[in-house]
Chains A and B, each alone.
Chain A
Amino acid sequence: MNSHTGEYSGEADPRTMLVEGPFGVGKTSFAIETLFTWLSDGVPPENILVMVPQRTLAYPYWEALRGADYGPLGSVDVRTVNGLAKDMVNIYWPLVAGEAGFAEPERGPHFLTLETAQYAMADFVDRAVENGEFDAINVSPQQIARQIVDNLGKAALMGIDYRQIPDFLTGAWGPDRPRKRVLAYQAAGRVADAYRQYCLKYRLLDYSLQIECFTRLLRLPDFREAFFGARTHLIVDHVEEEDALTHTLIRDWLPHLDAALLVYEQDGGYRVFLGANPEGGQALARDCEGVLTLSESYFTSPGLEALLDEVAYSFNQPGSDPAPEGSDLAFDFAFHSYYPQMIDWVADRIDHLVHDQGIAPKEISVLAPFLSDALRFSLGQKLDQRGIPHVSHRPSRALRDEPAARCVLTLAALAHPEWGERPPQADVAQALQLAIAGLDPVRAALLAKVVYRPGGDEVLTAFDRITPQMQARITYVVGQRYDHLRDWLVTAAAERATALDHFFSRMFGELISQSGYGFHDDPEAGRVVAELVESARKFRQSLYSDQSIDPIEIGRRYFTIVRQGLLAALYVASWRDEHADAVFMAPAYTFLLRNRAVDVQFWLDVGSVGWWERLDQPLTHPYVLSPNWPAGRIWTDSDEVVRQEEMLYKIVSGLIRRCRSHIYLGLSDLGEQGYEQRGPLLRVFQQILRRHPQPVEGLEVSRE
């Protein structure tokens, strides 16, 4: 074995191999090299499957496969296991639908998103809330629905009956804690059961039912033989991010394959909330004929290697030693009293890096435990002022928070008086301002004030019916545009039986994207409205295609849940965003799973407990609802501390490994919400600074 490439142990001529190592040692590169070796050896491309835990991790494979320098090619499938499962269930639905208990199995399935699943569950949750069944917990009905949907998915991944979930949670809660929580678990169980029966009746397949149907298919001998036989070569990248069910699938599959390569990232396993089971991923090494361990980082500088040592030592990692005295740790730390000062500091530093040091914007990432709209907006504005391009990743931003979506929704409410919705005057003013070109906020407010008649026979008054003085103030050009908009909405209101997504499309194409209107040349508005259209269409088609409900009523229900903030924008950072030459702003988790290294990272809010704390989810539990947790064992406070320390170490070491040159740490005494910040990550760096004193902007640190 060539020592340059790592340490190999196992059979001389392995058929299956696991390659392991931390980020940046060439594991995925080795996997891609393996893929092309197989193709060169004549393995039919259709026989090769590459599995990744999420879409962004497929990019290196797609890039390699789509390069023109490799010759003619068949289709190498690069998929997530969820995508594969959904496809299999869709294609082989006739084999599984009846046995799985779906009504009218001869008709097709409807696949639910997380949002539509929550909506399908909402009525059952609301009833339970009204009955006081969830009084013991202080979370919204939407959060309750989300956690129950999550529990169903976890049960499917654990391979247990979803009705056992309350028992698992009760066992971990223990007998000495307040009994009310157990009653809430039981209520959640009843809601889950009612929701499941509803799904079976209307053939609605949420994530849990997709996984259960896929598992059921795999038990059919013919399907199993065909499925395992269709692929002879398998690559699974990031097995540590996969769940226990996927690990079982891989373990069952390995004996059937001509070759398999599993890629395991040490210190990974960030997707615990999605069922990631890093221990199970590493255990797959025992099922492989060889293990290749890579350790030489191609990215991290000596200064960051020293920082890694320091971090490991601070977290008491086995075998860790602090960096030698005098080490040049590649980080800077700046302390500020107030949050906006920290944002100014970040913008100034980035300005210096880009304009004075020539670092490409795409080589800089700004990371925080959460990416709030305020942070995104304020930092984005400051970078704009400095002429620095930036993109942000916003995985959970609600649709209603997008101005273009709010505009379209408000206009829809005006065109559907039968919904009984009366948008506030301020919303109407903002919608008019966005929709009509040349209308400034002051005139928009005036116009809304004089023409908007909520509850009147005519919701919007014609421009020629307002006073000439007011017409002159608003201008006649704007008045004409307003009248055209009003006429369009009145006509649309008369055409009753229109699905809301169709209404959105027509309004966008025929009205607000036309010349003289606000979205005429606005790509961002186009993107947001496209997401709205797609979201409304999925809502209608997946939940109501089998039910004879008036499209107007379906539209009203959709409007209601968007207004409640239940529906998130479907926004996924596209390859354009991912590959743009722009500063990338994201939550730390998102950046880690993007799996790319950058030259410079900024960590904001280093004092925030958000780097450490789990979300408060009283009805579910990522560690207890896992095959690794012994049923009946109580989850204690010390379990919580141990797990959160483990996760914080993973996050911090993972971020450092994804940096080539330097890390800037920003801290403000008072956080974004005005609270004092003294979280565990700050304490780690205080320890490091005591061992390796360095000038800290705005703070004095004494040597230990």
Chain B
Amino acid sequence: MTPSGPFAHLDGERRVIDSSQDSMVRPGQLPPLFQFSQNSLQDYADCRRRFQLRFIEGLRWPAARSEPIEEHEQFVNHGVDFHLLVQRHLLGIPIEKLAPVENPLAEWWDAYLHYPPPDLPTTLRLPEVQLSTPLAGYRLMAKFDLLAIDPGERAVIVDWKTSRKRPPRDQVLNRLQTHVYPYVLAEAGTHLFGRPIAPEQINLIYWFAAAPTDPEILPYSADRHAENRAYLEGLIGEILTIDDEIWPLVEDEFHCRYCEYRSLCDRGVRAGSLDEIDAAEEESDWDFEWDDVEEIAF
């Protein structure tokens, strides 16, 4: 009798994966488990050398990213706490068990309850979802704070931003996140949507705790999708072709003030002030920390 159902492949020829055979780290190349994300691409866009140090060489360099470190740490912790709070809410934990007492969390929570992102689809609310799609021979992944979907009709990506100031629109538009998120959802969200998603059915909303009534709502389109594909493919292609021993350093040294590798690159001594960093970059810094947290949590 031949088994079928979830084990219908049982009668097939066995393949044995000997993972030690094909997954060797080669100096100067991306590691075997690497996948591109908005963070890594943003690092590349900001400074190629930073990308090389962080992702090709995997170099840990424990200098401060911004000063005062104490405030930076609080900023990161509050961001993590807020995301967790919203996740708990979206997973159905009763609201009376969630009320935070300390600011800024209490203020943000109040803002979230009174001024949530507008006009969200209601059928599916999926917090902390990760999707990925192949691009230029690698995987491009996105981890969404929230996907709100009415299957077959529309899908909204929500990203919670806890930077201290709302960044101007042009800064938001230029972030790699704005390119990566809708692109990945359009390519990899079919199973959640019930059928292929047309780019026009996607919106990306940045919701700002510091300005909850003024979210940035970014509609997506087929033209934008094609542009994004070309742009992201180009970036990855560029990364794969660099064979310099030391990748080019960013010209504008302002970035170096908020980069932990500044001493290695002889680009300064003290970390830049948290007050001078722009909101989008501040958030990007935080997002990177969040990825770290995820990794450590395993």
Q: Contact residues of A with B, CB < 8 Å? A: 1-2, 4-6, 8, 11-15, 17, 24, 26, 28-30, 32-34, 37-38, 41-42, 44-46, 55, 58-60, 62-64, 66-75, 79-80, 83, 86-87, 90-92, 94-95, 106, 108, 226, 233, 258-259, 261, 290, 292, 294, 298-299, 362-363, 499, 502, 504-506, 508-510, 513-515, 520-521, 523, 526-527, 529-530, 532-534, 574-576, 579-581, 596-598
Q: In the complex the two chains form, what is the Cα distance from A125 to B107 in whole Å?
A: 43
Q: Does B88 contact A (CB under 8 A)?
A: yes
List 29 A-B pairs, Cβ < 8 Å: A5-B10, A11-B3, A15-B6, A29-B17, A32-B17, A38-B6, A59-B23, A66-B34, A66-B35, A68-B139, A72-B188, A72-B189, A75-B129, A83-B297, A86-B297, A94-B88, A95-B93, A259-B6, A259-B7, A298-B18, A509-B269, A510-B263, A514-B269, A526-B61, A527-B60, A575-B25, A575-B31, A579-B24, A579-B25
CB distance from B113 to the nearest CB of A (A): 16
> Which residue in A30, A42, A513 is a CB contact (below 8 Å) of B61?
A513
* Contact of A44 with B58 in the complex, beta carbons under 8 Å: no
20 additional A-B residue pairs with CB within 8 Å, beyond A2-B13, A63-B19, A74-B130: A11-B3, A12-B3, A13-B4, A28-B17, A37-B6, A75-B130, A79-B298, A91-B84, A91-B91, A92-B91, A259-B5, A290-B3, A292-B10, A505-B63, A506-B64, A520-B263, A576-B31, A579-B23, A579-B24, A579-B32
- Render B178-198 as a binary contact track against A, CB cut-off 8 A, 1 for contact: 000000000111111000000
* Contact of B16 with A510 in the complex, beta carbons under 8 Å: no
* Known contacts A15-B6, A579-B23; A226 and B92 CB within 8 A of each other: yes
Within 8 Å CB of A515, what residues of B?
A: 263, 266
Which of A68, A79, A521: most chain B CB closer than 10 A? A68
* Contact of A14 with B5 in the complex, beta carbons under 8 Å: yes
Q: Does B230 contact A (CB under 8 A)?
A: no
Q: In the complex the two chains form, what is the Cα distance from A60 to B262 in whole Å?
A: 36
> Which residue in A6, A60, A526 is a CB contact (below 8 Å) of B59?
A526
Q: In the complex the two chains form, what is the Cα distance from A164 to B88 in whole Å?
A: 35
* Contact of B93 with A94 in the complex, beta carbons under 8 Å: yes
* Contact of B88 with A91 in the complex, beta carbons under 8 Å: yes
* Contact of B270 with A510 in the complex, beta carbons under 8 Å: yes
Within 8 Å CB of A45, what residues of B?
A: 191
* Known contacts A28-B17, A298-B16; A509 and B271 CB within 8 A of each other: yes
Q: In the complex the two chains form, what is the Cα distance from A206 to B297 in whole Å?
A: 14
* Contact of B7 with A46 in the complex, beta carbons under 8 Å: no
- Render B59-87 as a binary contact track against A, CB cut-off 8 A, 1 for contact: 11111100001100100000001001001
CB distance from B122 to the nearest CB of A (A): 19
How many of B's residues come within 8 Å of A, CB to CB? 78
CB distance from A565 to the nearest CB of B (A): 22
Within 8 Å CB of B297, what residues of A?
A: 83, 86-87
* Contact of B98 with A94 in the complex, beta carbons under 8 Å: yes
Closest to A527 in B: B60
Q: Contact residues of B with A, CB < 8 Å? A: 1-20, 23-26, 31-35, 57-64, 69-70, 73, 81, 84, 87-88, 91-93, 97-99, 101, 126, 129-135, 137-139, 187-192, 260, 262-264, 266, 269-271, 297-298
> Which residue in A64, A72, A80, A87 is a CB contact (below 8 Å) of B133?
A72
Q: In the complex the two chains form, what is the Cα distance from A24 to B98 in whole Å?
A: 49
Within 8 Å CB of B70, what residues of A?
A: 499, 502
CB distance from B52 to the nearest CB of A (A): 13
Main secondary structure of the interface of B (DSSP, over half): loop
Q: In the complex the two chains form, what is the Cα distance from A13 to B17 in whole Å?
A: 26
CB distance from A586 to the nearest CB of B (A): 14
* Contact of B264 with A513 in the complex, beta carbons under 8 Å: yes
Q: In the complex the two chains form, what is the Cα distance from A5 to B8 in whole Å?
A: 13
* Contact of B33 with A63 in the complex, beta carbons under 8 Å: yes
Within 8 Å CB of B93, what residues of A?
A: 92, 94-95
Within 8 Å CB of B132, what residues of A?
A: 66, 72-73, 75
Within 8 Å CB of B99, what residues of A?
A: 106
* Contact of B60 with A29 in the complex, beta carbons under 8 Å: no
* Contact of A72 with B19 in the complex, beta carbons under 8 Å: no
Within 8 Å CB of A74, what residues of B?
A: 129-131, 188, 191-192
> Which residue in B10, B134, B270 is a CB contact (below 8 Å) of A68?
B134
* Contact of A44 with B191 in the complex, beta carbons under 8 Å: yes
Within 8 Å CB of B32, what residues of A?
A: 63, 66, 575, 579
Q: In the complex the two chains form, what is the Cα distance from A91 to B98 in whole Å?
A: 11
Q: In the complex the two chains form, what is the Cα distance from A67 to B137 in whole Å?
A: 9
* Contact of A580 with B88 in the complex, beta carbons under 8 Å: no
Closest to B134 in A: A68
Q: In the complex the two chains form, what is the Cα distance from A108 to B105 in whole Å?
A: 13
Closest to B94 in A: A94
CB distance from B32 to the nearest CB of A (A): 6
Closest to A230 in B: B91
Q: In the complex the two chains form, what is the Cα distance from A75 to B5 in whole Å?
A: 23
Within 8 Å CB of A58, what residues of B?
A: 298
Closest to A28 in B: B17
* Contact of A533 with B24 in the complex, beta carbons under 8 Å: no
* Contact of B20 with A597 in the complex, beta carbons under 8 Å: yes
Q: In the complex the two chains form, what is the Cα distance from A12 to B10 in whole Å?
A: 11
Within 8 Å CB of B271, what residues of A?
A: 509
* Contact of A29 with B15 in the complex, beta carbons under 8 Å: yes
Q: Which 6 A-B pairs have the closest CB atoms?
A: A509-B63, A259-B6, A72-B188, A75-B130, A94-B97, A530-B60
* Contact of B61 with A37 in the complex, beta carbons under 8 Å: no
* Contact of A59 with B19 in the complex, beta carbons under 8 Å: yes
CB distance from A207 to the nearest CB of B (A): 14
Closest to A517 in B: B263
* Contact of B7 with A44 in the complex, beta carbons under 8 Å: no
* Contact of B25 with A580 in the complex, beta carbons under 8 Å: yes
Q: In the complex the two chains form, what is the Cα distance from A1 to B101 in whole Å?
A: 62
> Which residue in A34, A69, A75, A526 is a CB contact (below 8 Å) of B131?
A75
Within 8 Å CB of B260, what residues of A?
A: 509
Within 8 Å CB of A11, what residues of B?
A: 3
